[in-house]
Structure 1
């Protein structure tokens, strides 16, 4: 709802507008059609150099044409993704047609060529899917950088606060996209994590053993032998052994846990857990999430858990009296309190 109040600056009446262009994006009340038109016009003008380079199939190769498309056309769409994500598939149809035309130019295909085949050939997503994935990645990064406004919006949605339904259309659309991609569990800071009181002791023993030299300088066979000797020192009767690891590739991050539960008479079972966590996460954060998955698995088993972690920074974070991270570190520590 727009207020009718009038504003003046140095005796000059300020003009009221429904949209405002800021850093190449149109911001306003509700959906601003100018943003799609603006992005489309910029991208259309960049199709001509692409046609010149292709020269009807006699110019540069497909890999170079694809790189030119990604750097000059799709980069504009990616930049506008946080605004364009609130539009429907029908609204984004002009940008989808634009990419289809670019694919025909790159591959030299006629207009009768199947869109799905061209996408597979060039390893491209649909514009709608690309916009939403880039937007989700951007929002996750902003939330992890402690953007209070986004945190408030997301927490209202996650906790089911009635005030969520009074949010504007963009906020509702944003939460719907995050929900569709099922990223609340790992990409949003963990809710309801309270600092550990200093007088409360923890039922855990963290042991850190360093190698004589850096891991990458050791022979893989020597590392394997050292690890086998290490785990042979721990009991294998009515306990749980968990092997935790985190991985970061570019902007993507994930975790992997191998859990081996031992019973009497040498019987054991094995379970594997692998999950994707928030983009732009550090390797330490990925390791901590792997530890948290291990703790969640064994919390109701009534057995001792022996975890093996190859990240010294993650172990130091857990061993600190004052957690440096109010989210995942506190959540891990709260699972093994007495």
Structure 2
């Protein structure tokens, strides 16, 4: 085994310990003790602080940032899609590669990496320095680096545990991740991973939901009729508001519109505590998603109105409840949404989503293909 090692490049890096006073030899070769070492592109130090690696990321990313600025100049004429692709594959990929090592970093160090992405987002959009970060991320469809690092690390750890469950490291990970995060040391990699894998199960909604005087309680719903007409509505106490949508939109879009107009109503009336109930679990999941590929306008508009409400200290709670189980507010919103499909004019113009159009096109082509196949069989 010694013959397969390059003894000239082999170093000894003690973790959490002082270098011993006696020399360490391997195959008759004295190994030098070091405090920093780059292994597989990641700079390691004895305390596993990864401070040197963060500095290395800054140096590598700064060169790519200079190239991104040149590409974004008017003389180059590079499109936004090319700039975004360059950032993802040339700059963010540096963080993705070592994400598993960066989960335990202190928040100030993570914030220093966020500055890189924030500058890149402004360059891609041509936005001024005072643009809010939440708007930059939503316009580019990119999460913060802190969320990206957590997502990459959790995905990698889960893949290792699932693909090779009998390895000693997998058994150790299972033991660590099964513990409550509070029982693990702070700023510890295992504590961070345990917090990421903690599953929160929401309680089942009760059959009766009270409307408290200090809160504005909304029930929203969307509906699409068999002929393609769509409507959205919300109910707040005794007030009901409904909208007729453009023909051809999906039920998912109708649910998003209902949430949007309900939050807009809360913003106009300056409600301090907003509780919104919806039976569309997919809408809530998409609002929490870190990446946007479709219905960007609706989701961005919802986040914008929610940020306006939060700016003056309002609290917003989005709650899922099962549909058609006899909850009065949900039944009223559903009836109003179905009635809105029959309104004489479209009051909320909206283009169908890309995924909905593609799905409709595929289903139509598949139905026509089946009909042609059956016709060929019938004709012999």
TM-score of the superposed pair, with normalisation by structure 1: 0.48
TM-score of the aligned structures, taking structure 2 as reference length: 0.43
